């Protein structure tokens, strides 16, 4: 804005636009008295977003758009803006209007005290108590991405370096609400981050040693060696820029960010974005909520910290047998100790969100209720320790050791605060009587002002001998002493005459003025003193942030372990055996989600799964739609994942050989915005599997190749199966569900491919699903029967049966008569048709199958002609001519 146009503005509007220029990209909520106001473009935006009336304000002759709301409605409107992806700057009045007048200023001083963004907020209105709210920053250097992420509401701060190909999976794991990038990417946004809420910051923040120095200054260290991240130089840029952004937005100390740790994937099972989506771990594929997800079944945590940690565990299954066994042993002990587990759940349920409590306390966005909740939560720790003290489990002993009692902090808060403090510090009344002598005196004066003055009057009457002495009050003199003329000669010398009346004189004394000051200002002074005392108490508690964060982490871990035990007991899960072998053996396994969502009274049919790397590497599963192929695939993936979480599993028995990665290719999806069709997405996922699988992996394939023509799709599925079988470096345990019955031929060709099918029965033209996985292949899809069950018109069903019959007899002539009616002609089968084996014996021609690689030269000619033809475009006559030519070549 030009200087000339600024001169025309009112002082208030000039101040507004000056502050607005310093905070680009934000909605500026400008405090004016009891309202937060917005002007110009911001006013038009929030009027539309919040449904607030848009008015105008005079601005040096111009009418500037204006929209606002009362300051006490901030908690109502701010979350709405931030949830829609806006960054909001809160600009407060930092001085009293009377002070501004006395200083000769036309407007009160104002400054931005906080910027709330989707990824940086402390507001309970914006935070899901069982989800982390991460913000991430990314810095690329060649093919490596440095990434840092933090949840400012809990104090977590981590960094990592990954390859470009691993970045998407990592972002899927942390699911950031906001991602920071350099401005240089504004016009060329990398695909990996396109789906996220992006904030661009200045390029210089990512350059040089700025980020590294910012980190060492914050942690008061000479280097980052103590955190084990000194070598992650690319990630330093990301972490420094993230810290810079959080400091700029919060405008306060971030003392609760005490640790920086390296986020390593080496200890965890690799789950790519497709697998996380297809297995519906934390988000449902259809509705996007949590119904029907694994977390909806497993989450019976009773603390907010536990709920957040459980989501992390689900997205990061363990990959080391010893760590898994430690969790399973702890869960087993809690599983068997029913009474202790029940009491433990009661005790944990009384504990508040320590992570977010201490974060708010540390940054100064807190109140007395937060401190009181902290004290009451810490008071539960002795009871929690008692519940697990008898365990001989290594993991539970570790939890117990980290649960410090924090007696001094508890006693300090308990002694200081009233039992039920008010929400606002400004209202006073938060400290208990007897905590501070000066506060007690001010309160006494405020509560008993009249009695205090009456006592002074009586004392003066006795001192002077003037029984009729009075103490009065007016706005001019304040409190005064009134003595009738009869007793003027008794007035002491230290009385100061202020006013003469007809029958009396009025006096003041220094002592009376001191009392007056105390009485008139005692309430305001007591509130001010309480504010100072509260800040002292807050700072005292904040010094213990590191200890309280460690207690919170231990409680979260304990909550997850008891949660696994509770869910396992309630749902009849069993403890799996997890080892380093290459066998996955599940007896009577069940899908943990599906079994809970079946209609009342309908049982879930359990199934056995056996996979290994020596005989049963690839299970080729055929069967009709709706029979349950996809359920068995997902069920197997979820059981392996649950076992490596350290949870019991829904089965009669389960032995799980450690899996390093789970891959899925399930269902149809597209990415049209990126120009990717359903089939291209399918092939991308298949390529990712073949390029990254290992013999320790588990692959779940559902209908590979269905997105293209039958022969193309079948060929791809066949070749993919061969590749997984024949390439030792990618020979992963695989479940392959397919409608391509031709793939059953693979069992006779390859020793580690076995055919299975989902058993069905056909009765009166209808198919009955048995939901049972049995040995052997099938050559029937029952697609028409399933279509009939879906309610297709009967005429369509009957027509489909006719067409199927004709296709199976390899002859179909479909044309239209003059009225447009469809007519069909099916050739009769030759009565004396020779079998393929007879022809082979008589003509000595090798039998030709679709997948033979060594063929007779005549057959090569046949194949060339077939390849050059397009059956989908040929007329029936053209097809017959081609068939005649092929027959001549073969003879």
628 is in an annotated binding site: yes
Q: How far apart are CA 660 and CA 269, in angstroms?
A: 5
Identify the three-state secondary structure at position 374.
helix
Do 125 and 74 form a contact (C-beta atoms < 8 A)?
no
Torsion sign, CA atoms 281, 286, 289, 291: negative
DSSP string, 802-845: HHHHHHHTT--EEEE-TTS-EEEE-PPPPTTPPPHHHHHHHH-P
Residue whose C-alpha is closest to residue 678's, from 661, 703, 711 = 703
253 CB contacts (<8 Å, ≥6 apart)? 362, 363, 364
Say if residue 626 carries a ligand binding annotation.
yes
Question: How many CB atoms sit inside 10 A of residue 363's CB?
Answer: 23
CB within 8 Å of 792: residues ≥ 6 apart: none
**Greatest extent of the chain over all pairs of C-alpha atoms, in Å:** 153
Q: Is 240 annotated as a binding residue?
A: no
- Could you give the CA distance from residue 369 to residue 374 in angstroms, rounded to a whole number? 8
Burial of 555 (0-12, 13-18, 19+ CB in 10 A): buried
| 152: nearest Cα among 183, 171, 178, 173 | 178
Rounded to whole angstroms, what are the CA distances from 772 to 585, 588, 769, 775? 16, 10, 8, 10
Can you give the length of the chain in residues? 891
- The reply to whether 848 sits in an annotated binding site is no
Cα torsion angle, 271, 275, 277, 283, sign: negative
- Residue 625 counted as an annotated binding residue: yes
Which residues, at least 6 apart from 24, have a Cβ–Cβ distance to it below 8 Å?
Answer: none
Structure tokens at 785: 């029967």
How many Cβ atoms sit within 10 Å of the Cβ of residue 343? Answer: 15
State residue 485 phi and psi, 5-degree precision: -60, -25
Distances (CA, A) of 621 to 404, 725, 734: 54, 16, 10
Going 441 to 443 to 449 to 451, the CA torsion angle's sign is negative
Is 169 annotated in a binding site? The answer is: no
Beta bridge partners of 474: 478
Which residues participate in the annotated binding site? 623-630
Which residues participate in the annotated binding site for ATP? 623-630
């Amino acid at each position: 804005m030009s200087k000339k146009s600024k001169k025309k503005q009112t002082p208030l509007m000039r101040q507004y636009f000056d502050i607005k220029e310093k905070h680009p990209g934000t909605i500026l909520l400008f405090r004016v008295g009891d309202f937060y106001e917005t002007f110009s473009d911001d006013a038009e935006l929030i009027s539309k977003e919040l449904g607030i009336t848009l008015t105008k304000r005079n601005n040096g002759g111009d009418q500037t758009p204006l929209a606002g709301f009362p300051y006490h409605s901030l908690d109502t409107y701010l979350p709405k803006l931030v949830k829609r992806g806006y960054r909001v700057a809160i600009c407060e009045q930092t001085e009293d209007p009377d002070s501004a007048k006395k200083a000769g200023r036309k407007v009160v001083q104002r400054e931005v005290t906080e910027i709330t963004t989707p990824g940086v907020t402390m507001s309970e209105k914006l935070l899901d108590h069982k989800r982390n709210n991460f913000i991430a920053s990314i810095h690329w250097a060649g093919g490596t991405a440095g990434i840092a992420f933090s949840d400012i509401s809990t104090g977590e701060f981590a960094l990592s370096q990954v390859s470009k190909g691993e970045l998407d999976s990592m972002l899927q794991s942390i699911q950031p609400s906001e991602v920071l990038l350099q401005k240089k990417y504004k016009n060329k946004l990398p695909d990996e981050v396109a789906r996220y809420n992006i904030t661009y910051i200045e390029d210089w923040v990512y350059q040089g040693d700025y980020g590294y120095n910012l980190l060492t200054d914050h942690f008061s260290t000479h280097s980052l060696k103590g955190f084990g991240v000194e070598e992650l130089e690319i990630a330093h840029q990301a972490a420094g820029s993230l810290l810079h952004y959080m400091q700029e937005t919060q405008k306060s100390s971030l003392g609760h960010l005490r640790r920086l740790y390296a986020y390593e994937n080496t200890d965890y099972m690799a789950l790519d974005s497709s697998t996380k989506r297809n297995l519906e771990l934390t988000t449902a594929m259809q509705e996007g909520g949590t119904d029907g997800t694994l977390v909806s079944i497993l989450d019976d945590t009773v603390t907010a910290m536990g709920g957040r940690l459980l989501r992390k565990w689900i997205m990061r299954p363990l990959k080391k047998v010893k760590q898994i066994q430690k969790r399973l042993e702890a869960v087993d002990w809690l599983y068997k100790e029913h009474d202790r587990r029940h009491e433990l759940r009661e005790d944990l349920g009384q504990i508040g969100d320590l992570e977010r409590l201490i974060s708010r306390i540390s940054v100064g966005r807190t109140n007395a209720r937060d401190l009181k909740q902290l004290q009451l939560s810490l008071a539960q720790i002795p009871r929690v320790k008692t519940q697990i003290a008898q365990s001989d489990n290594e993991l539970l002993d570790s939890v117990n050791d980290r649960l410090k009692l924090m007696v001094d902090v508890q006693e300090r808060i308990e002694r200081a605060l009233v039992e039920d403090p008010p929400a606002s510090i400004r209202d006073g009344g938060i400290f208990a009587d007897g905590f501070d002598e000066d506060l007690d005196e001010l309160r006494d004066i405020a509560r008993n002002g009249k009695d205090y003055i009456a006592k002074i009057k009586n004392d003066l009457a006795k001192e002077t001998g003037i029984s009729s002495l009075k103490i009065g009050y007016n706005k001019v003199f304040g409190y005064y002493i009134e003595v009738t003329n009869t007793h003027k000669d008794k007035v002491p010398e230290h009385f100061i005459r202020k006013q003469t009346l007809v029958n009396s004189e009025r006096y003041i004394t220094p002592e009376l003025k001191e009392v007056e000051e105390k009485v008139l200002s005692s309430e305001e002074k007591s509130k001010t003193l309480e504010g100072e005392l509260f800040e002292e108490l807050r700072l005292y508690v904040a010094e213990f942030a590191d200890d309280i964060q460690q207690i919170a982490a231990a409680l979260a871990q304990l909550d997850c372990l008891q949660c696994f035990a509770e869910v396992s007991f309630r749902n009849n899960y069993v403890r799996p055996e997890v080892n380093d072998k290459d066998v996955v053996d599940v007896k009577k396994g069940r899908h943990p989600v599906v079994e809970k969502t079946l209609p009342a009274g309908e049982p879930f049919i359990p199934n056995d799964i056996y996979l290994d790397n020596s005989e049963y590497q690839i299970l080729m599963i055929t069967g009709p739609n709706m029979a349950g192929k996809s359920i068995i695939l997902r069920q197997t993936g979820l059981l392996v994942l649950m076992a490596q979480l350290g949870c019991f599993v829904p089965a009669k028995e389960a032995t799980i050989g450690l899996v390093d990665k789970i891959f899925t290719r399930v269902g149809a999806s597209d990415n049209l915005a990126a120009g990717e069709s359903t089939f291209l997405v399918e092939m991308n996922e298949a390529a990712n599997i073949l390029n990254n699988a290992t013999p320790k992996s588990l692959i779940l394939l559902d209908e590979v190749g269905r997105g293209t023509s039958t022969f193309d799709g079948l060929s791809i599925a066949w070749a993919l199966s061969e590749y997984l079988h024949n390439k030792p470096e990618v020979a992963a345990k695989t479940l392959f569900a397919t409608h391509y019955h031709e793939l059953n031929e693979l069992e006779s060709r390859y020793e580690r491919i076995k055919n299975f099918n989902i058993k069905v029965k056909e009765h009166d033209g209808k198919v009955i699903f048995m939901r049972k996985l049995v040995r052997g292949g099938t050559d029937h899809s029952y697609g028409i029967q399933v279509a009939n069950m879906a309610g297709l018109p009967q005429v369509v069903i009957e027509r489909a049966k006719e067409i199927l019959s004709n296709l199976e007899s390899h002859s179909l002539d479909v044309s239209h008569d003059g009225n447009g009616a469809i007519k069909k002609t099916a050739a009769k089968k030759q009565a004396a048709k020779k079998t393929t084996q007879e022809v082979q014996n008589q003509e000595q021609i090798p039998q030709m199958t679709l997948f033979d690689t060594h063929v007779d030269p005549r057959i090569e000619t046949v194949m060339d002609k077939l390849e050059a033809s397009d059956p989908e475009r040929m007329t029936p006559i053209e097809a017959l001519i081609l068939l005649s030519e092929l027959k001549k070549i073969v003879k």
